[in-house]
Amino acid sequence: MDNLSQRELLSEGIGSILKGFGKGVGAVGGALKAASDAGIEAGYGDLYKGARAGYDKADDLLTGKKEKLLKTLDDQGVMIFPGTDIRGKKKLAVVNIVQYDYDEKGEKKPMQGAKQELAKFKFKDGGWEKVAAAREIKDGYSMLTKEEVTEVQEPDQKGPLTGKIVKHLTAKGKPAYGKVIGYTYEGEVAVQPFKGSRAPGIYGKKEDQVEESSAEEATNFYSAGIKEGTSQANLLRQLTLLSK
């Protein structure tokens, strides 16, 4: 029996191909799974075996990660905010979302009065799920969540500044140093505080807010601060003794 390419299988229509092979979503999913497993081509014999296998998610086999994410958003009553796009890599997507309504033409539009929200979705077990954890702003630093700390250390989250010592300004405008351990899915650098820094833990900074430095410069900066603090303490002690 003639073989059909996977593209032809899909264009023929699932219903017509599976006539006589059984009914139901399971049969359709099985047929697609068989076609996919067979590579570029799959024959009717493969379709029959696939129909008997009974996979129950035919639509998932037809779509990529992006399409699955759009379907997930739609199921939650939200859409990607106009003018923005999906960011992220592989297992995690960052999107600006907003509740939607329909216009007179039946097309989606942001619901009146609805505010856009920054949301994260993680790809797991063949589907997308929303990541609920939000960052904490502590002492002016945007602290990475536990999930983000794990993600930035993955091999595909490296970048030009990974492993480098960087310098930046704190929320109060004072210099601070740290080591970049990786990049977040938003494109920020994840900074691990250098010894002597008062940062409360690993935090995120935009790449254009940091500049490459060196361990020597960072060490000298924090050592100078310690020496200055010690000198001030000694001066205070001397003034106390003189006043007696």
d(CA 145, CA 202): 9
> pLDDT over 90 for what percent of the chain?
41
Better pLDDT: 88 or 75: 75
| pLDDT, tens digit (0-9, with 9 covering 90-100), for 84-109 | 888 877 788 888 899 999 998 889 99
pLDDT of residue 232: 57
Helix runs in 132-181, H state only:
146-152
pLDDT of residue 243: 52
Say if residue 69 is in the same domain as residue 39: no
The answer to whether residue 235 is domain-embedded is no
- What mean pLDDT is predicted for residues 165-174? 94
Counting the structural domains of the chain, the total is 3
Q: pTM for the complete prediction? A: 0.50
The answer to whether residue 236 is domain-embedded is no
| pLDDT, tens digit (0-9, with 9 covering 90-100), for 173-203 | 999 999 999 998 778 999 999 999 999 999 9
End-to-end CA distance of the chain: 108
Better pLDDT: 183 or 230: 183
The answer to whether residue 94 is domain-embedded is yes
Query: For all residues of the chain together, what is the average pLDDT?
Result: 77
The answer to whether residue 239 is domain-embedded is no
> pLDDT over 70 for what percent of the chain?
65
Say if residue 30 is in the same domain as residue 105: no
Tell me the residue range of the domain where 103 lies. Answer: 65-131
Better pLDDT: 71 or 11: 71
Say if residue 196 is in the same domain as residue 165: yes
Say if residue 118 is in the same domain as residue 80: yes
The number of beta carbons lying within 10 Å of the beta carbon of residue 173 is 6
pLDDT of residue 62: 55
| pLDDT, tens digit (0-9, with 9 covering 90-100), for 2-61 | 555 554 554 455 455 444 444 444 444 554 555 555 444 444 454 444 444 444 444 555
pLDDT of residue 21: 46
Say if residue 140 is in the same domain as residue 214: yes
Say if residue 92 is in the same domain as residue 143: no
The residue out of 109, 131, 153 marking a domain boundary is 131
pLDDT of residue 239: 54
The answer to whether residue 175 is domain-embedded is yes
The answer to whether residue 244 is domain-embedded is no
pLDDT of residue 24: 47
Better pLDDT: 123 or 160: 160
Say if residue 36 is in the same domain as residue 83: no
Which of 38-52, 149-163, 209-223 is predicted least confidently? Answer: 38-52
* Cβ neighbours of residue 242 closer than 8 Å, sequence gap 6 or more: none
CATH number of the domain that 191 lies in? 2.30.30
The answer to whether residue 116 is domain-embedded is yes
Size (the chain), residues:
244
Say if residue 141 is in the same domain as residue 176: yes
Say if residue 125 is in the same domain as residue 152: no
Say if residue 76 is in the same domain as residue 16: no
pLDDT of residue 233: 55
Say if residue 108 is in the same domain as residue 183: no
Token pair, residue 17, equals 């191909």
Say if residue 125 is in the same domain as residue 70: yes
* Cβ neighbours of residue 168 closer than 8 Å, sequence gap 6 or more: 175, 176, 178, 191, 205, 209, 210, 211
The answer to whether residue 232 is domain-embedded is no
